[in-house]
């Protein structure tokens, strides 16, 4: 990679993965509205283009499969080339995997897809962000990982998703520790029932720990974006290590 050029010395630069829809799109729009330039990473170029059109400021759409090291390398090389630095990575890309499949019937390929996207993809992006943030001047930056309330308590038949989100917590702690000497802060936001396509099923009823089906409340995804923006705009001397943002009435506290 070329030496850092500091092209955009006044603006703040962010990478948002999973930026084509849902939480990623909402966060990208919030960052843009606050004056950030945002690199939009996702697997579907047409959805990234929709996000870019919805933003107020500078956007860099970049077709990226975060589970592929070559894609991740290309994404961060493009960020370094265009902007000369990176101030924020929001690790948001993720997949739940097949729902309603008992553990003993879960295909290995499905397990691998969830692990490769949710956990390995987060690691690869964080690794690439570390390289940029350590090399740039001034040194440092922030990483925010999308954990989920499943980092605390599982839903029925969600072994792959829950395992990766528990792993995300360990990754967040390690990134915080390893980034400390280089002014790289890392925090995690655990989100419950933000209104997106992924949570549309909550409105129809989802399995509960007691075997019943129940409709669950959802919250506006914009409220998640507001929280991420707050975390992102703290000075590097301060960090929200863990934050839980959820629909007030969802069955999380006391789940099971």
Domain ranges across the chain: 12-246
Predicted confidence (pLDDT) at residue 71 exceeds the cutoff of 50: yes
Verify whether residue 182 is a known catalytic residue: no
Do 152 and 190 meet the contact criterion of CB atoms below 8 Å apart? yes
Predicted confidence (pLDDT) at residue 7 exceeds the cutoff of 50: no
Q: For 79-115, what is each residue's pLDDT tens digit?
A: 999 999 999 999 999 999 988 899 999 999 999 999 9
Q: Report, at the CATH architecture level, how domain 12-246 is classified.
A: 3-Layer(aba) Sandwich (3.40)
pLDDT confidence bin for 256, thresholds 50/70/90 = low
Beta bridge partners of 31: none
Q: What is the mean pLDDT of residues 72-76?
A: 98
For the entire predicted model, the pTM comes to 0.92
Q: How many angstroms separate the Cα of 166 from the Cα of each of 46, 88, 186?
A: 32, 22, 16
Q: For 143-182, what is each residue's pLDDT tens digit?
A: 999 999 999 998 999 999 999 999 999 999 999 999 999 9
The tokens describing 228, both together, are 């991420």
| Residue 80 phi, psi dihedral angles, 5° rounding | -60, -40
Q: What percent of the chain has pLDDT over 70?
A: 95
The pairing of beta strand 12-17 with beta strand 88-91: parallel
Q: For 184-230, what is each residue's pLDDT tens digit?
A: 999 999 999 998 877 778 878 888 888 888 888 899 999 999 999 99
């Amino acid at each position: 990679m070329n030496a850092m050029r500091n092209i955009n010395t006044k603006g703040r630069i962010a990478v948002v993965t999973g930026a084509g829809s849902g939480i990623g799109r909402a966060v990208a729009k919030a960052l843009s509205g606050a004056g950030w330039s945002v690199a939009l990473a996702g697997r579907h170029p047409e959805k990234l283009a929709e996000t870019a059109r919805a933003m107020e400021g500078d956007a860099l759409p970049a077709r990226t499969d975060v589970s592929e090291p070559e894609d991740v390398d290309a994404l961060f090389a493009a960020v370094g080339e265009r902007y000369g630095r990176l101030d924020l990575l929001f690790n948001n890309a993720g997949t739940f995997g097949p729902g309603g499949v008992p553990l003993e019937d879960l295909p290995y390929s499905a397990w691998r897809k969830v692990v490769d996207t949710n956990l390995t993809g987060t690691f690869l992006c964080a690794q690439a962000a570390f390289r940029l943030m350590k090399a740039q001047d001034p040194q440092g930056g922030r990483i925010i990982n999308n954990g989920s309330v499943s980092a605390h308590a599982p839903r029925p038949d969600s072994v792959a998703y829950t395992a990766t989100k528990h792993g995300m917590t360990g990754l967040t702690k390690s990134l915080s520790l390893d980034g400390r000497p280089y002014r790289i802060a890392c925090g995690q936001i655990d989100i419950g029932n933000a209104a997106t396509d992924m949570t549309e099923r909550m409105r129809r009823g989802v399995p509960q720990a007691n075997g019943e089906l129940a409709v669950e409340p959802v919250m506006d995804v914009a409220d998640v974006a507001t929280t991420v923006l707050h975390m992102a705009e703290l000075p590097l001397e301060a960090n929200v290590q863990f934050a839980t943002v959820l629909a007030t009435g969802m069955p999380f506290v006391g789940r099971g």
